[in-house]
Structure 1
Amino acid sequence: MKKLIFASFALAGFVSLNAQQAVTLNVRLKPIQTLIVNTAQKIVNLDYVTKDDYVNGVSSVNADHLSIYSTGGFQVKVKSANAALQNGAKNIQANTIQIKASAGSEPVTGAQYAQNTQLSATETTLVTSAVGGVDKKISIEYKGAGANAYLDNYIAGQTPTVYTTELTYTIISQ
């Protein structure tokens, strides 16, 4: 009888060991990047008002122009909708405008910022970071040409004469 009870306990222990099951738990992280342009800065004007403006060029500094969220390293790129800013039959070449990226009030740790990048109809990298961040800010300065580059682009009867293009900012994982 003792052998039967011992055998029953041994068998029950064996059965309970075989009743265990393994589960594979995966934590699956997908890249998320968001980029938001400061709503108060959706329109940027480069105003040429004085002789010195035409000679030296003008700039518009937009503090905290972009806000980003990224799960890991990323790049921020910019491009113009066209190779030239348009006003009827006249235009100003986009590459006469420079864009400078810099750290905003909540900077991205270790980011590299492009300086004096020419605006183009092809994507140009402005910011590169090996790490992600939450609600990080990027400031952007737009600078129009000096040296009287736009002297002959005023159109009589238009005050002011406005040349325009749309810029597209993109964030991609790296």
Structure 2
Amino acid sequence: MKKFIITSIAILGVGTLSAQNVTLNVRLKPIQTLVVNNAQKNVDLNYVTKNDYANGVSSMNADHLNIFSTGGFQVKVKSGNSALQNGNKSIEANTIQIIATAGSDAVNGAQYAQNVQLSNNETMLVSSSNGGVDKKISIEYKGEGQNKYLDNYIAGQDPTVYTTELTYTIVSQ
């Protein structure tokens, strides 16, 4: 029997083992999205009383921005113009302040810029070295006090409205 096994191995040959390698790559591309809360697409700063003109007014927009980011990011804002326009009259954009704060589902470790003056140049509002899914940023808009806009009312308009478009952007960092 022993001779039979040895003869069988000699006839069939000894099998050889071989290994093959495969390279697996996990390829991550950066994705950043920023969505403005649909219910807050128009923001009004209403000057109604004498105190409003003296002290300024604000509009707090909780969870104004919703972001998704793979990794660190920056959120920036800019005005379409250096001034808010109504016909031939204007209000300088830099008299409006924007204050970013953590929303109801905040980004861990984010830095929020305070008292950013609106400009037609991009200005950083939020910076984070961490990414996040459906993270919220609240934005407060503040109009100037000290009777700054006192002479900007136009007779026959009720109310007189000055307008500019704001653009928010998100970029990876």
TM-score band, normalised by shorter chain: over 0.9
- Between the aligned partners of 1:136 and 1:5, the Cα distance in structure 2 is 67
Q: Specify the alignment match of 1:164 in structure 2.
A: 163
Amino acid at match of 1:78: V
Measured in 2, the distance between the counterparts of 1:9 and 1:100 equals 79
Contiguous gaps of at least 5 residues in structure 2: none
Distance change >3 Å, CA 27–CA 58, structure 1 → 2 = same
Name the counterpart of 2:37.
Answer: 38
Report the equivalent of 1:5: 9
Question: What is the SS of the residue equivalent to 2:134?
Answer: strand
- Tell me how far 1:3 sits from its aligned partner: 7.5
Q: Secondary structure at the match of 2:130?
A: coil
- Residue 24 of structure 1 corresponds to 23
Measure the CA separation in 1 of the matches of 2:10 and 2:101. 77
Evaluate the alpha carbon distance shift between residue 98 and residue 7 of structure 1 in structure 2; reply closer, same or farther with a 3 A threshold. farther
Equivalence map 1:129-168=2 (5 Å)? 129-168=128-167
TM-score scaled by structure 1?
Answer: 0.92
Provide the rounded CA distance (Å) in 2 between the counterparts of 1:164 and 1:125: 22
TM-score computed with the length of structure 2 as normaliser: 0.93
Matched residue, 2:62? 63
Matched, 1:91 2:90: yes
Q: What's the offset of the Cα at 1:75?
A: 0.4
DSSP 3-state at the match of 1:67: strand
* Unaligned residue ranges in structure 1 (runs of 5+): none
After TM superposition, give the deviation of residue 90 of structure 1 in Å. Answer: 0.6
**Identical columns (%):** 72
Counterpart secondary structure, 1:54: helix
C-alpha displacement of 1:24: 1.1
Measured in 2, the distance between the counterparts of 1:49 and 1:97 equals 17
1:9: how far off?
A: 3.0
User: What does residue 77 of structure 2 align with?
Assistant: 78
- Separation in structure 1 between the aligned mates of residue 12 and residue 128 of structure 2, nearest angstrom: 64
In the alignment, structure 1 residue 49 sits paired with structure 2 residue 55: no
Q: Distance in 1 between matches of 2:10 and 2:28?
A: 51
What secondary structure is seen at the aligned counterpart in 1 of 2:136?
strand
Please tell me the residue identity of whatever aligns with 1:34.
T
RMSD: 1.5
* Residue 8 of structure 1: how far off its partner (Å): 5.0
Specify the SS of the correspondent of 1:66: strand
Deviations 1:98-146 (A, max 9, x none): 0000001101111000000000000000000110011110000000000
2:84 alignment partner, SS class: strand
Q: Aligned AA for 2:28?
A: L
Partner secondary structure for residue 13 of structure 2 = helix
Shift of 1:5: 3.4
